[in-house]
Amino acid sequence: MDRITGELRLPHTQVHQLSRRFLEPIQDILVLALGAALFGLMGRTLFGLFRDLVSAELNFRQVVAEVLFVFVMVELVRMLIVYLQEHRVAVDFMVELGIVSSLREIVLRGVVELHWEQIVALSIFLLALGALLRFGDLRVDALAAREARRAARLAEAQREPAEPARV
């Protein structure tokens, strides 16, 4: 057992550490490639948006859909950045992404073109996501919590054992 971290070291742990040493950088490279592709897609979308704004015919629904698409891309890039920093997927960003994506699809289709059952289902879905985002514990600072646990383990490991009671 490791005295500082309190982790039990088994023989297969070294294999896991060795594989993680090689797989995590490869995974980070893939995430960086995804981020670069998203930036390229955002640039192309913004170029098309500016081209649409200066054209003679302005399709308001298309402009709003492109702006919301850029917001979706921004949320995805934020999620990738958090993943690169903490190696975890931020659930709160995914919920925000679900809300923005759903609203984008509603704008693209138009509320008048949806059946009442679809409107009710989308309303319940958006209310559930909003309640989850507002009242759920999704925005906990995981990094601060992890550092506090590590500091507590270190303090416990450094504390000297108490002297036995004298009889």
124 pLDDT band (50/70/90 cuts)? very high
In degrees, rounded to 5, the angle at the alpha carbon of residue 66 between the alpha carbons of residues 104 and 121 is 5
pTM of the model: 0.63
> For position 34, what pLDDT does the model report?
94
Q: Phi and psi for 107 in degrees, rounded to 5?
A: -65, -40
d(CA 68, CA 152) in angstroms, rounded, equals 44
> For position 92, what pLDDT does the model report?
83
Q: Which residues of 49-86 are buried (b: 16+ CB within 10 A; e: fewer)?
A: beeeeeeeeeeeeeeebbebbbbbbebbbebbebbeee
131-166 residue pLDDT tens: 988 887 765 555 566 677 777 777 777 775 555 555
> For position 150, what pLDDT does the model report?
76
Mean pLDDT score of the chain? 81
22 pLDDT band (50/70/90 cuts)? confident
Residue 75 has pLDDT above 60, yes or no: yes
d(CA 149, CA 53) in angstroms, rounded, equals 52
Query: What is the average pLDDT across 106-111?
Result: 81
d(CA 132, CA 121) in angstroms, rounded, equals 16
> For position 138, what pLDDT does the model report?
62
99 within 8 A of 129, measured Cβ to Cβ: yes
> For position 127, what pLDDT does the model report?
95
> For position 61, what pLDDT does the model report?
79
d(CA 25, CA 32) in angstroms, rounded, equals 10
Specify the 3-state DSSP secondary structure of 167.
coil
Q: Could you tell me which of 119, 106, 108 has the C-alpha nearest to residue 60?
A: 108
> Would you state the structure tokens that stand for residue 148, as one six-digit string?
């506090």
